[in-house]
Structures are given as C-alpha cells and as structure tokens.
Amino acid sequence: MLEPTNALLKKSWERSRINGVNALTAKDAILEETQFRQYREQKEEFMRTMDPTMERLAYWLKSSYSIVALCDTSGYILESKGDPVFLKDTEKIQVHHGACWSEQVRGTNSAGTVIVEQKPLAVVGKDHYLDSNHMLYCAASPIFGPQGELVAVLDISGHAAMYHPSLLGMVDVMARKVEDWLLIHRPDRQMVISLYPEKNAKHHALLAVNQDGIVTGGNREAHQLLRGNRQRLGQVHVTELVADIESLLGRQKDISTPRSLPLLTKGGGEHHWQASVLLDTRPPQIAASPPSSKPKARPLRANRTGLTSFDDLYGTDDAFLAAIRLAKRAAKTEYTVMLFGESGSGKDVVSQAIHLASERADKPFVAINCGAIPKSLLESELFGYEPGAFTGAKQTGQPGKFEQAHQGTLFLDEIAEMPSEMQVALLRVLQDFTVYRVGGTKPIHVDVRIITATHTDLWQKVQEGSFRADLFYRLQGVQVTLPPLRERADRLQLAQLLLHGIEAQLGTGPLALGTSAKKLIESYSWPGNVRQLAAALREAAFLSEGGKIERERFPAYILSSFSAKPAEGQISDAQKERTQSGKSDMVDVFLQTGGNISETARILGIGRNTVYRKLKKLMEKDGT
C-alpha cells in the first residue's frame, strides 16, 4: 500500500491504521431512512441556509461527472447533489445522504480528515485510505460558525482522473461565503465591520462587535486576528485589534464608506486596512465606546444582560398575546415553565423575558440546546467534570450548566431530543437539586429555575416511550404555547416592525412593502416562523432599490416553494380523510410541501410520527 507524501495525509493514514479502519465496517455506517429524517430535521434551519450554495454548485457540476456534498461535524452526509450518473455510480461506496464519512469510519477522505484538521484539503485517488475509494477525488473545506466553531464540511467529489487543483479553491471560496452569511444573519444586536488589507489581500475579515464594542464573533480571517483563540471572544475590545476605529463605532449616516485604518499585528507593527461598517443592528440610541470611556447609565436588566424582555416583544395577535400573558404570570412564580412552539416562533426570547421578569433577573440566565450536543458530551456540559475526568478534560475541571445557573435560570432547549440515559440523570437532579460532576464524588447543591422548550408534542413522545413519563410530570409546571407565524393575524404588522430595524442596519431611507410582498407575507406558510421572516426581509431589503420591496426580491427558495405549494384551503376534508386512512394522497401533500414532514402533518391534522410511519409503509409497498 503506497502512502501519500502530503504531511496532513500521512498523519491521517496513521490515525486510520490506529483506528483499525476497514471496508467491511465502513459499509454499515449508514443511518436508516427514518433515523436520517429525524437527524436532518434537527438541522433544518442550517440546511435552508446552505440550500442556495448547494444548488449553485450542483448546477456547475451536474455535467462534469461530479457532485457536491454537505457533511456535519460527525461526518454524516446531510445532502448530496450533482451529476445523477456519478451519484448512481458511487452508491456502492455509500456516497449518499445518511452515510458516515468520518475519518474513524472510512479512513483518510476529504470530509472526514477536514473535520479533524479543520483545514481545506483535497484527497485524490490512492490518497484515500480504503481501496474502494481510490476511484474518487474529494476536495473539501470546513465551514466555521461566528464563534469559530466547526459547523459543517462542504465537499466536491468526482472521478479521480478529472481532478483539477482549482476545485479546492472553488469549494473553499464557497465555504467562506457561507461563513460570512452565518455571521451577518445572526439575530444578535451587533455591528459587523469589514476589514480588507490594502496589500496582498485574498479575503476580507469580518468582525462582529456588540453595543459595547466587544468582539463577539467573526469569520475565518477575523479569528486569525484573534490568533485563533476563541476564548478571547466576549473579552477583547475592538480597539485592541484596530487602531483609530472609534470613528466607526458611532452611528454614521453613510456606514458603508471605507476608510484606511492601521491594524495592530502580532509583531507590534502596523498595516493599513480598508475598514467599513457592513451592517449595524445595535439599538439606535446605543453606540459602542472604547473601554476607557465612562459607561452610560442603562436600565438594569435588558441592556446590561443583553437579553430580551417582554417590552421588546411585539404582537397584537390574540393567541400570541394570550401566551405572553400566561408567560408573565408564570414569571412571577418559581414554577417550571414548558414552552411549546415551532422552530423560530420565539421560544428562546420568551424564556429570556420570563427570566428578566422574575425575582432571579439579576442572576445568571444559562441556555443549552439538548439536541445540538453529542450524547457523549451532554453529561459533562450539564453537570461539569473534575480534573482528569476524561481525555481532553481541562486540568482545572469545569462547572456544568447547572452550577453556572446557580440562583438563576437554566433554559433547556429542545428537551425532547435529550437521550434516555440523560433523562434519568436529569430526573435525579430535579428531585433534590444536587449534582455530581463527571469523575467527582462531592455533591454540589444548586438553586435553579428550569424553563424547557420543545417543538414536538412531548406527551406523544411519552406515549411512544422515547421520553420518560416521570420526567415529563416533573417538568410540566406551566405550559406556554406560542402560535406559529402562519396562524398569527399580525404577521404583516410584525414584518413592518422588522423593516424599521433593517432600515437602521442598512442605513437606508424608509423601506416599504409592495403589494406583492404583502401578499406573499400573508399567504406563505413560514415554516421557519419569525426567524425565517426576519432573514427573508433582510435579504429582500438588501436587494431592493428605491425603498420599495416587491415579492421577487425575496429568497429564491421561498419563491419556488411558495409558487409550488397550495394554500391550506386547497386540501379538502375528503383528501385529509383519505390520507389519514393511509391512501397515497399523503404523498401528494408531502411533495407539495417540498418534503417538509412538519408542514405535511400540520396540513393533514395528524402527528409527525404518523406521517413517518405511513410514508415508510407506502415506500415499502412500492419497493422503494
């Protein structure tokens, strides 16, 4: 077996040998279809972000015997598109969604090795560890989130003989564009500063700062300015990195005008960069000032914490107002609160508002997404760990979320996704509010108020056996149900309010919705709810000219699904009845909703698991 000469690939081959990688076990590392659908549904929002990039690359590659694939940080292929002939040819080596291409499973390959090395990399032909993959070339680049964390890997694959070095450059450029998009479209109140070297420039750095001028995020180049130290985020003031930047921190009429500023480098020297404000979503009355400036007096709760209060929430819809009234009443108690609502409907901001309206408002608010953290790490995240508890543990140990939230509020988002063994551990803690760190024997008493959130029917999970009934009863407390945006009567007024904030972000004059845009907002189903509406309005406003926003300026994926998707009223009661009986009309609705399980279930008035089960039976019947 001829080993590669590239240093990164040689290290990868050595790891592959240590891991005992072989083709027999690799071929079985595939999620079942039902598992994959549930797995991918958790990443639905990110997939909507990636869809335009995937479609663009697939269009370029469809006639070149190549495909584009997106892998998550565990190595699972979430999507693959491109030349259908090549997709068919690679089925035997599992280049398709649901297959795991981590380095531990398949040895040296671009996606798996990029997850480990976190650098762009091409693996061509016999550079692959497994012989079965020698037919491939793979060129991949990491996609980093605003905090510098790896969120996915973008990969282009094709026949080894057709590889060209420019492919690696192309996939890296596309990955960097996605990173910029993720930073710019964060819901945070932030200013994003673009820094572009006047000499030897390849990519620009985007730095996000909050209303106090503290650096809170950035793209790949920005993290190089932070010397790759993610822990400095939230601690470094932007003036420590860029001299004479105070003039940009105040609100400018023309925020996009670039100016030349000296950048402070590692060696203490200076290089001039072109700097401009790309967008500014800070509250209008607040401008970031250097650390030496005397801080202005602010209201104690909302501004100091950066959390959302009930005063910041807008709504005139009856169901929404009823939910907020209930949340305000619950805030005055110590009851556990369970927030129910679809993704993007505002569960996270309502949880913050409950905390700020409670007696614990001046204590910590700590949030954790139970569905976004690997099962193996969730215990240490919740309960902390002692020094040396496991490989890679900090020598000082680490307090968990329960300890961090002591005397405050712990928000457990996506509680329904918590693994069963962790449900047992959580129940034990809630019985006496005592935690034990991983690797520790000393009991630690905690005083926390619990708020949970879920987008699924938790009681249905109990009946299915995937969620413990005793934990459900312990968490029930007060349930607050937030209506989805499509059911809110005030969605047009909400859109107008969001536009006012976008005006400040873009530094434009007044923005107005045209008739076609209003019709779209009132008719589209908004599966991503308020979060999706805000993102769509930002893009439409950016693309519009003359201050008037029309329907055609909205994102292409919305326009395509909006034109293809029927209105709710077009699905008759008879069709619902046939579908609930298992007839193939379910497939029609599933296709009309663009394959959206949640939307299909909502339209048909049945549970998501029922949709899964019936679709599976139909596919088995058809032999698909």
Q: Collect all residues with Cβ–Cβ distance below 8 Å to 311 and sequence separation of at least 6.
A: 302
Q: How far apart are CA 463 and CA 6, in angstroms?
A: 54
Q: How far apart are CA 139 and CA 601, in angstroms?
A: 38
Q: Note the pLDDT of residue 255.
A: 46
Q: Indicate which CATH number applies to the domain containing 366.
A: 3.40.50.300
Burial class (CB in 10 A: 0-12, 13-18, 19+), 359: exposed
Domain span at residue 335 reads 310-481
In this predicted structure, the answer to whether residue 496 has a pLDDT above a threshold of 80 is yes
* Residue 468 and residue 600 in one domain: no
| Predicted confidence band of residue 609 (pLDDT cuts 50, 70, 90) | low
Among 6-10, 204-208, 220-224, 232-236, the range scoring the smallest mean pLDDT is 232-236
The verdict on residue 291 lying in a domain is: no
Question: What is the sign of the dihedral through the CA atoms of 474, 478, 482 and 487?
Answer: positive
* Residue 128 and residue 224 in one domain: no
* Residue 319 and residue 460 in one domain: yes
In this predicted structure, the answer to whether residue 596 has a pLDDT above a threshold of 80 is no
DSSP 151: E
In this predicted structure, the answer to whether residue 110 has a pLDDT above a threshold of 90 is yes
- End of a domain among 453, 481, 509? 481
* Residue 560 and residue 572 in one domain: no
* pLDDT one-digit tens code per residue, 60-86: 877 678 889 999 998 999 988 888 888
Q: How far apart are CA 146 and CA 123, in angstroms?
A: 27
**Beta pairing class for 512-513 and 548-549:** parallel
Do residues 101 and 75 touch, judged by C-beta distance below 8 A? yes
Could you tell me what percent of the chain has a pLDDT over 70? 76
* Residue 274 and residue 347 in one domain: no
In this predicted structure, the answer to whether residue 570 has a pLDDT above a threshold of 60 is no
The verdict on residue 2 lying in a domain is: no
Q: Indicate which CATH number applies to the domain containing 263.
A: 3.30.450
In this predicted structure, the answer to whether residue 359 has a pLDDT above a threshold of 90 is yes
How far is the CA of 612 from the CAs of 29, 38, 174, 208, 414, in angstroms? 22, 9, 34, 41, 20
Query: Which region, left, alpha or beta, applies to residue 107 given φ > 0 means left and ψ of -120 to 50 means alpha?
Result: left
* pLDDT one-digit tens code per residue, 149-158: 899 999 999 8
Q: How far apart are CA 246 and CA 261, in angstroms?
A: 11
| Predicted confidence band of residue 319 (pLDDT cuts 50, 70, 90) | very high
Burial class (CB in 10 A: 0-12, 13-18, 19+), 488: buried
The verdict on residue 318 lying in a domain is: yes
Q: How far apart are CA 132 and CA 151, in angstroms?
A: 28
- End of a domain among 151, 183, 215? 183
Q: How far apart are CA 125 and CA 327, in angstroms?
A: 59
- Residues of 158-178 as b/e, b for ≥16 C-beta within 10 angstroms? bbbeebeeebbebbbebbbeb
| Predicted confidence band of residue 569 (pLDDT cuts 50, 70, 90) | very low
Q: Note the pLDDT of residue 606.
A: 66
* Residue 343 and residue 258 in one domain: no
Q: What is the pTM of this model?
A: 0.48
Pull the structure tokens for residue 603: 């339209």
Query: Which run of H or of E encompasses 588?
Result: helix 585-592
The verdict on residue 380 lying in a domain is: yes
Q: Indicate which CATH number applies to the domain containing 501.
A: 1.10.8.60
Q: Note the pLDDT of residue 528.
A: 86
Q: Note the pLDDT of residue 308.
A: 84
**Beta pairing class for 449-454 and 409-413:** parallel
| Predicted confidence band of residue 573 (pLDDT cuts 50, 70, 90) | very low
In this predicted structure, the answer to whether residue 410 has a pLDDT above a threshold of 90 is yes
In the predicted model, what is the mean pLDDT of residues 319-332?
Answer: 94
* pLDDT one-digit tens code per residue, 288-315: 334 443 333 333 333 334 688 898 888 8
Q: How far apart are CA 18 and CA 407, in angstroms?
A: 46
Query: What's the number of CA atoms in the CB half-sphere (13 Å) around residue 182?
Result: 27
* Residue 215 and residue 131 in one domain: no
Among 18-22, 192-196, 278-282, 494-498, the range scoring the smallest mean pLDDT is 278-282
Q: How far apart are CA 134 and CA 159, in angstroms?
A: 9
* Residue 74 and residue 212 in one domain: no
| Predicted confidence band of residue 259 (pLDDT cuts 50, 70, 90) | low
| Better-scored residue on pLDDT, 623 or 230 | 230
Do residues 564 and 570 touch, judged by C-beta distance below 8 A? no
Q: Collect all residues with Cβ–Cβ distance below 8 Å to 480 and sequence separation of at least 6.
A: 323, 326, 327, 330, 337, 338, 339, 340, 350
| Better-scored residue on pLDDT, 212 or 325 | 325
The verdict on residue 303 lying in a domain is: no
- End of a domain among 481, 508, 537? 481
Pull the structure tokens for residue 266: 């590692």
Q: Note the pLDDT of residue 379.
A: 87
In this predicted structure, the answer to whether residue 265 has a pLDDT above a threshold of 60 is no
* pLDDT one-digit tens code per residue, 423-481: 999 999 998 899 999 888 889 999 999 999 999 889 999 999 999 999 999 998 899 99
Q: Note the pLDDT of residue 222.
A: 81
In this predicted structure, the answer to whether residue 323 has a pLDDT above a threshold of 90 is yes
**Beta pairing class for 337-340 and 449-454:** parallel
Pull the structure tokens for residue 362: 């001046």
Q: To the nearest whole number, what is the mean pLDDT of the chain?
A: 80
In the predicted model, what is the mean pLDDT of residues 482-490?
Answer: 92
| Better-scored residue on pLDDT, 42 or 338 | 338
* Residue 177 and residue 43 in one domain: yes
* Residue 57 and residue 174 in one domain: yes
Total domains present in the chain: 5
Q: How far apart are CA 321 and CA 178, in angstroms?
A: 36
* Residue 126 and residue 272 in one domain: no
* Residue 128 and residue 98 in one domain: yes
Q: How far apart are CA 100 and CA 46, in angstroms?
A: 19
* pLDDT one-digit tens code per residue, 531-568: 889 889 988 988 888 888 999 999 888 887 665 444 44
Q: Note the pLDDT of residue 311.
A: 86
